[in-house]
C-alpha cells in the first residue's frame, strides 16, 4: 500500500515536470475563482453602501405620506389625494401610539435663495424640533430649530452643507441673512453632512420652522391643516412593525378608511432596506453565477490537459502497474494532480480576486467587504472542480491494461 | 514439493475480431526455485503471452498457473498488483525507466508501491545500485546514462522488493553484444545468489547462457531442454 506522502510527492513531481503547462492549465481556475471572489466582494460592497445610505435617513423610521401606495397598474387610491395628511393626524399619532421616540410633521416647500449676490434653488422643509430626533440630524454649526421658533413662526433657517457652500463660500453662514420667496431669513445653523444617497444629495436642503414654511414659504400648498409627511421614529427596531400597525390603525380611524381605500401610506424604512438588500443580493448572485461559468470552463481545461497527460504517459502508467501500482494508486495519483492544479489555481485566484475587488471598489468609492468564508469557499470550490474534472481522466488512467500500456510507444 | 512456477494445461484465448486466437494452447511445465530458464520461439509463438501470465499482468482463460503458492487465475486486480510488486521483478527490452526521475528514484518506485518508508527505501535503493555497479550514478537521470547502465538501473529496480522471480523480456535486445554479455553475466550472478531468472528471447545466444530452454511454437511447448550440468 502506497503511503499518502509518496502519493502527494508523485503528483507534485509530475506537475513540476511541466511547469508552463501546469500554470496554463491552472489559469482557467485562477480566472474563474478570481472573478467569483471579485464579483461577490463587489456585490457585498454595493449592498453595504445601500444599507448605509438608507440607514443615514434615520434609524427605526416610519414615514407617513399622503396618497395610497401604487397598486398594480399604477392606479392610485381614489380618496384624499395630496391633502389627506393633517397636523391633527400627527398629534393623534403622538397621543395614541405607544413606543414612539418622536413624531415629526413636515411641510415640503422650495424656492430660490439669494445671499451675497449668489443664488441657489433648493428644497425647504418646514419642521419641528422632533424632526432632528426622528431623522438623526445633527447641527454642525449654530443651533437647531426650537419650540419657540415654531410657536412664534420665526424667520430662521438651517442650511445643509451643500446650500451653505453655494451661498456662503469661504464664510460662516450663521448669523447671515438670505432672501427666499420675497422674505428675509436669518441663518441659525448648518447641518452635519449626510452624504450622497444614491439618487439625491441629502445635503442640498434647508430646514425652517413648520409654521414659518406653511405661512410664508409654501404658498398655496401651505394653507389649511395639511402637511406633506409625518416622520415617526420607533423606540427600537423590533417595535417597528407594532408601531407601523398602530399608526395605520389611528389614521384609518381618523380618515374612516378600511385598508382598500386608504388615502395615506406608511413606509417602513426597514422593509425598504430589506427589499434593496434582496435586490443587491440577487444581483451579486447573478454576477457570481456568471463568474462561476468561467470556473466551469477552467475545470474543463483541467480535464482536457489531464486527458492529454494520461495519453502521453500511458507507458509510464503501464510501468507503474507492472511495478505493483494498484488501480486505486493510479486513480489517486492522477486525481491528486488535478486537485493540486485546481487548488493551486484557487489560491492564486483568491489572491488576484481580492486584489481586483480592492481595485474596483476603491475606484468606485464602495466599501471593500470581504467575508471570512470567502477563502474557505474559494478553496472548497476549486477542490471540487479538481475532483469533478479530474475524476474521468484519472479513471481512464486507472483502467488502462498494463500489457497494452507497456506496448505503447 | 511443487515448483516455484507450476503451469498445467494453460490456455489463453484472444478474440481478434471474428476469430479466436489460441495464444496458449494447453501448456504445462514446472520451474523450480532458483531456476535459470529461457523461453524462446518466433514472434506469435505465445512466449510473450506466457510471460504476461507469469508476470501477473494477465490471467489465463483456462488451465491452472500457480506461482509461489498464488493461483494467478483466482486473483483480482488488486491482488495481482501486490503479487507483481512482491514476487516478480520485471526487466524490459527498452529499460522503461521514468525519464524525469533519477536512477535512485527509479529504483525506489516498487518500494513506494510496497509502502516502504522513505529512509529504508533510500538505503535499499542505494545498496542495489551499488550491487549492479552504479554506486556513483545515483543522481543521474536515465538520459545521462548509457544503455547498459540504464539496464543495470532497471535490474536494480526489478530486485528492489526481493522478488522470487526476475522476469526479463529481451533484456539484451537494445544493447550491443559486449554490453549484452555483461548484463547476462549479471543475471547469472543473481541466479547464483538464489533468484529464479526467466528470460524471454528469440536470441539463441542469449538462451544458450541459461540452464534450461523452453521452446514455443503456435501456443505449444515444442521443446523443453535442460542444459548439461556445469562441470
In whole angstroms, give the CA distance from residue A129 to residue A69: 28
**A140 plus A209 within the same structural domain:** yes
Last residue of a domain, one of A235, A262, A289: A262
Cell numbers given for A330: 493510479
Q: Evaluate whether residue A21 is within a structural domain.
A: yes
Q: Do A10 and B112 touch (CB under 8 A)?
A: yes
pLDDT tens, position by position, A331-386: 999 999 999 999 999 999 999 999 999 998 888 888 888 888 888 988 898 999 99
Instruction: Tell me: pLDDT of A12 over 90.
Output: no
**A340 plus A286 within the same structural domain:** yes
Q: Do B84 and A1 touch (CB under 8 A)?
A: no
Q: Do B113 and A329 touch (CB under 8 A)?
A: yes
Out of B84, B96, B117, name the one closest to residue A324 (CB): B84
Q: Do B85 and A324 touch (CB under 8 A)?
A: yes
**A113 plus A190 within the same structural domain:** yes
- For residues A78 and A360, which has the higher predicted lDDT (pLDDT)? A360
Give the closest residue to A93 by CA, choosing from A258, A349, A264. A264
In whole angstroms, give the CA distance from residue B40 to residue B46: 10
- For residues A369 and A95, which has the higher predicted lDDT (pLDDT)? A95
Range ranked top by mean pLDDT from A52-56, A124-128, A368-372: A124-128
DSSP conformational letter for B133 = T
The confidence score (pLDDT) of residue A368 equals: 86
Domain that holds residue A240: 83-262
Q: Evaluate whether residue A268 is within a structural domain.
A: no
User: If you search the block for the grid coordinates 432672501, which residue do you land on?
Assistant: A179
Instruction: Please name the residue of chain A whose CA is at the shortest distance from the CA of residue B99.
Output: A316
Site from A7, A315, A321, A322 to mutate, B interface, most B CB atoms within 10 angstroms: A322
Out of B58, B100, B114, name the one closest to residue A324 (CB): B114
Instruction: Tell me: pLDDT of A1 over 50.
Output: yes
Mean pLDDT of chain A: 87
DSSP conformational letter for A84 = -
Out of B81, B86, B115, name the one closest to residue A321 (CB): B81
The confidence score (pLDDT) of residue A71 equals: 47
In whole angstroms, give the CA distance from residue B90 to residue A319: 9
Chain B interface includes A2 (CB < 8 A): yes
Last residue of a domain, one of A262, A296, A325: A262
Site from A323, A327, A407 to mutate, B interface, most B CB atoms within 10 angstroms: A323
The confidence score (pLDDT) of residue B2 equals: 64
Distance, in angstroms, between B135 CA and closest chain A CA? 22
The H or E element spanning position B90 is: strand B88-91
Out of A3, A14, A327, name the one closest to residue B115 (CB): A3
The confidence score (pLDDT) of residue A79 equals: 41
Q: Evaluate whether residue A163 is within a structural domain.
A: yes
Domain count, chain A: 2
Q: Model confidence at B78, in pLDDT bands (50, 70, 90)? A: very high
Site from B113, B162, B167, B200 to mutate, A interface, most A CB atoms within 10 angstroms: B113
Give the closest residue to A297 by CA, choosing from A345, A358, A351. A345
Q: Answer for the pair A179, A119: CB distance below 8 angstroms, yes or no.
A: no
**A287 plus A253 within the same structural domain:** no
Distance, in angstroms, between A5 CA and closest chain B CA? 10
**A234 plus A120 within the same structural domain:** yes
In whole angstroms, give the CA distance from residue A367 to residue A362: 7
| Pairing of β B36-40 and β B19-31 | unpaired
Chain B interface includes A1 (CB < 8 A): yes
Instruction: Tell me: pLDDT of A28 over 80.
Output: yes
pLDDT tens, position by position, A256-293: 888 777 888 888 877 777 888 888 888 888 988 888 89
Q: Which chain A residues have a beta carbon less than 8 Å from that of B82?
A: 324, 326
Q: Model confidence at B92, in pLDDT bands (50, 70, 90)? A: very high
Q: Evaluate whether residue A269 is within a structural domain.
A: no
pLDDT tens, position by position, A144-194: 999 999 999 999 999 999 999 999 998 899 999 999 988 899 999 999 987
Instruction: Please name the residue of chain A whose CA is at the shortest distance from the CA of residue B58.
Output: A403
Q: Evaluate whether residue A75 is within a structural domain.
A: no
Instruction: Tell me: pLDDT of A197 over 60.
Output: no
In whole angstroms, give the CA distance from residue B140 to residue B160: 18
Q: Answer for the pair B164, B196: CB distance below 8 angstroms, yes or no.
A: yes
Our CA dihedral for B112, B131, B102, B93, rounded to 10 degrees, sits at: -90
Distance of CA A271 to the CA centre of its chain: 14
pLDDT tens, position by position, A209-225: 999 998 888 877 667 78
pLDDT tens, position by position, B218-228: 999 999 998 77
SS3 content of chain A, % helix, strand, coil (to 5): 60, 20, 25
Distance, in angstroms, between A357 CA and closest chain B CA? 40
Instruction: Tell me: pLDDT of A80 over 60.
Output: no
Chain B interface includes A325 (CB < 8 A): yes
In whole angstroms, give the CA distance from residue A105 to residue A138: 18
The confidence score (pLDDT) of residue B1 equals: 52
| B positions 138-177 inside 8 Å of A (CB) | 157, 161
In whole angstroms, give the CA distance from residue A17 to residue B100: 7
In whole angstroms, give the CA distance from residue A188 to residue A172: 11
Out of A5, A315, A323, name the one closest to residue B109 (CB): A323
Instruction: Please name the residue of chain B whose CA is at the shortest distance from the CA of residue A405.
Output: B57
Q: Answer for the pair B111, B160: CB distance below 8 angstroms, yes or no.
A: yes
Cell numbers given for B227: 542444459
Chain B interface includes A402 (CB < 8 A): yes
Chain A interface includes B113 (CB < 8 A): yes
Mean pLDDT of B11-16: 90
Question: What percent of chain A has pLDDT above 70?
Answer: 94
Q: Counting beta carbons within 10 angstroms of the beta carbon of residue A363, is it exposed (0 to 12), middle (13 to 18) or buried (19 or more)?
A: exposed
Q: Do A6 and B118 touch (CB under 8 A)?
A: yes
Question: What percent of chain B has pLDDT above 90?
Answer: 87
Q: Which residues contact B89 (CB under 8 A, 6 or more apart)?
A: B110, B155, B157, B158, B159, B160, B161, B163, B165, B166, B167, B195
**A14 plus A42 within the same structural domain:** yes
Cell numbers given for B194: 538464489
**A198 plus A335 within the same structural domain:** no
Q: pTM of the prediction?
A: 0.75
Q: Is A121 left (phi over 0), alpha (psi -120 to 50) or beta?
A: beta
In whole angstroms, give the CA distance from residue B35 to residue A256: 113
Instruction: Please name the residue of chain A whose CA is at the shortest distance from the CA of residue B81.
Output: A324
**A324 plus A237 within the same structural domain:** no
Q: Answer for the pair B126, B137: CB distance below 8 angstroms, yes or no.
A: no
Q: Do B57 and A329 touch (CB under 8 A)?
A: no
Give the closest residue to A317 by CA, choosing from B124, B148, B113, B117. B113
CB pairs under 8 A between A and B: 64
Chain A interface includes B75 (CB < 8 A): no
**A135 plus A92 within the same structural domain:** yes
**A239 plus A298 within the same structural domain:** no
Q: Which chain B residues have a beta carbon less than 8 Å from that of A322?
A: 55, 57, 84, 90
Q: Evaluate whether residue A73 is within a structural domain.
A: no
Mean pLDDT of B3-20: 91
Q: Model confidence at A72, in pLDDT bands (50, 70, 90)? A: very low
Last residue of a domain, one of A228, A262, A296: A262
Q: Answer for the pair A173, A222: CB distance below 8 angstroms, yes or no.
A: no
Instruction: Please name the residue of chain B whose CA is at the shortest distance from the CA of residue A319.
Output: B96
**A139 plus A282 within the same structural domain:** no
The confidence score (pLDDT) of residue A82 equals: 65
Q: Evaluate whether residue A77 is within a structural domain.
A: no
Cell numbers given for B134: 552504479
**A105 plus A157 within the same structural domain:** yes
Chain A interface includes B49 (CB < 8 A): no
The H or E element spanning position B158 is: helix B147-158
Instruction: Please name the residue of chain B whose CA is at the shortest distance from the CA of residue A398.
Output: B77
Q: Answer for the pair B138, B103: CB distance below 8 angstroms, yes or no.
A: yes
Q: Model confidence at B73, in pLDDT bands (50, 70, 90)? A: very high
Out of A323, A403, A406, name the one closest to residue B110 (CB): A323
Out of B52, B92, B110, name the one closest to residue A324 (CB): B110
Question: What percent of chain B has pLDDT above 70?
Answer: 98
User: If you search the block for the grid coordinates 466551469, which residue do you land on?
Assistant: A296
Q: Which chain B residues have a beta carbon less than 8 Å from that of A326?
A: 77-78, 81-82, 113
Q: Do A323 and B157 touch (CB under 8 A)?
A: yes
Q: Which chain B residues have a beta carbon less than 8 Å from that of A13?
A: 100-101
Alpha-carbon radius of gyration of chain A: 33
**Which phi and psi angles does B62 have, rounded to 5°?**
-150, 170
Q: Evaluate whether residue A17 is within a structural domain.
A: yes
Q: How far apart are the first and last CA of chain A?
A: 29
pLDDT tens, position by position, B59-70: 999 999 999 999
ipTM of predicted complex: 0.94
Instruction: Tell me: pLDDT of A58 over 70.
Output: yes
In whole angstroms, give the CA distance from residue B165 to residue B56: 12
Instruction: Tell me: pLDDT of A66 over 90.
Output: no
Amino acid at each position: 500500500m502506497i503511503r499518502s506522502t509518496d502519493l502527494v510527492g508523485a503528483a507534485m513531481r509530475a506537475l513540476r515536470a511541466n511547469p508552463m503547462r501546469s500554470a496554463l492549465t491552472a489559469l482557467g481556475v485562477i480566472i474563474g475563482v478570481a472573478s467569483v471572489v471579485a464579483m461577490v466582494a463587489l456585490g457585498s460592497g454595493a449592498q453595504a453602501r445601500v444599507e448605509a445610505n438608507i440607514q443615514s435617513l434615520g434609524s427605526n423610521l416610519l414615514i407617513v405620506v399622503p396618497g395610497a401606495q401604487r397598486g398594480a397598474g399604477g392606479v392610485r387610491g381614489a380618496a384624499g389625494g395630496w391633502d389627506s395628511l393633517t397636523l391633527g393626524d400627527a398629534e393623534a399619532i403622538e397621543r395614541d401610539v405607544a413606543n414612539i421616540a418622536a413624531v415629526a410633521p413636515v411641510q415640503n416647500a422650495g424656492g430660490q435663495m439669494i445671499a451675497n449676490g449668489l443664488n441657489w434653488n433648493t428644497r425647504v422643509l418646514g419642521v419641528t424640533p422632533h424632526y432632528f430626533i426622528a431623522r438623526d440630524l445633527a447641527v454642525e454649526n449654530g443651533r437647531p430649530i426650537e419650540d419657540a421658533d415654531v410657536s412664534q413662526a420665526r424667520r430662521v433657517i438651517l442650511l445643509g452643507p451643500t446650500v451653505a457652500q453655494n451661498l456662503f463660500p469661504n464664510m460662516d453662514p450663521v448669523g447671515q441673512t438670505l432672501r427666499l420667496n420675497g422674505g428675509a431669513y436669518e441663518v441659525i445653523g448648518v447641518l452635519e453632512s449626510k452624504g450622497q444617497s444614491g439618487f439625491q444629495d441629502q445635503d442640498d436642503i434647508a430646514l425652517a420652522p413648520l409654521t414659518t414654511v406653511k405661512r410664508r414659504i409654501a404658498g398655496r400648498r401651505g394653507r389649511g391643516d395639511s402637511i406633506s409627511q409625518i416622520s415617526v421614529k420607533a423606540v427600537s427596531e423590533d417595535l417597528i412593525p407594532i408601531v407601523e400597525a398602530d399608526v395605520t390603525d389611528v389614521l384609518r380611524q381618523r380618515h374612516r378608511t378600511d385598508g382598500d381605500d386608504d388615502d395615506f401610506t406608511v413606509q417602513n424604512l426597514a422593509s425598504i432596506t430589506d427589499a434593496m438588500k434582496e435586490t443587491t443580493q440577487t444581483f451579486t448572485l447573478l454576477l457570481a453565477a456568471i463568474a462561476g461559468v468561467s470556473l466551469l470552463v477552467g475545470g474543463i481545461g483541467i480535464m482536457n490537459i489531464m486527458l492529454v497527460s494520461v495519453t502521453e504517459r500511458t507507458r509510464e502508467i503501464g510501468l507503474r502497474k507492472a511495478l505493483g501500482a494498484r488501480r486505486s494508486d493510479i486513480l489517486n495519483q492522477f486525481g491528486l494532480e488535478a486537485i493540486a492544479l485546481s487548488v493551486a489555481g484557487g489560491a492564486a485566484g483568491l489572491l488576484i480576486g481580492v486584489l481586483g475587488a480592492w481595485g474596483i471598489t476603491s475606484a468606485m468609492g464602495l466599501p471593500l467587504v470581504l467575508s471570512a468564508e470567502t477563502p474557505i469557499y474559494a478553496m472548497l470550490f476549486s477542490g471540487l472542480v479538481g475532483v469533478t474534472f479530474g475524476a474521468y481522466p484519472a479513471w481512464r488512467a486507472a483502467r488502462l491494461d498494463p500489457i497494452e500500456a507497456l506496448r505503447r510507444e | 514439493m511443487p515448483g516455484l512456477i507450476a503451469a498445467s494445461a494453460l490456455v489463453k484465448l484472444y478474440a481478434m475480431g471474428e476469430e479466436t486466437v489460441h495464444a496458449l494452447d494447453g501448456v504445462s511445465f514446472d520451474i523450480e526455485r532458483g531456476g535459470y530458464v529461457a523461453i524462446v520461439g518466433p514472434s506469435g509463438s505465445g512466449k510473450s503471452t506466457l510471460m504476461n501470465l507469469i508476470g501477473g499482468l494477465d490471467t489465463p482463460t483456462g488451465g491452472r498457473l500457480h506461482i509461489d503458492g498464488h493461483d494467478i487465475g483466482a486473483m483480482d486486480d488488486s491482488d495481482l498488483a501486490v503479487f507483481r510488486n512482491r514476487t516478480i521483478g520485471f526487466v524490459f527490452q527498452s529499460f522503461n525507466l521514468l525519464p524525469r526521475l533519477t536512477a535512485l528514484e527509479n529504483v525506489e518506485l516498487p518500494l513506494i508501491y510496497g509502502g516502504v518508508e522513505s529512509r529504508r527505501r533510500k538505503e535499499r535503493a542505494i545498496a542495489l545500485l551499488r550491487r549492479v555497479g552504479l554506486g556513483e550514478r545515483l543522481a543521474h537521470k536515465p538520459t545521462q546514462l548509457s544503455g547498459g547502465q540504464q539496464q543495470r538501473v532497471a535490474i536494480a529496480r526489478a530486485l528492489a522488493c526481493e522478488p522470487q522471480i526476475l522476469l526479463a523480456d529481451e533484456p539484451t535486445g537494445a544493447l550491443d553484444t559486449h554490453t549484452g554479455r555483461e548484463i547476462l553475466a549479471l543475471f547469472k550472478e543473481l541466479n547464483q545468489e538464489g533468484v529464479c531468472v526467466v528470460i524471454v528471447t528469440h536470441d539463441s545466444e542469449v538462451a544458450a547462457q541459461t540452464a534450461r530452454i523452453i521452446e514455443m511454437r503456435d501456443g505449444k511447448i515444442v521443446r523443453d531442454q535442460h542444459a548439461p550440468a556445469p562441470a
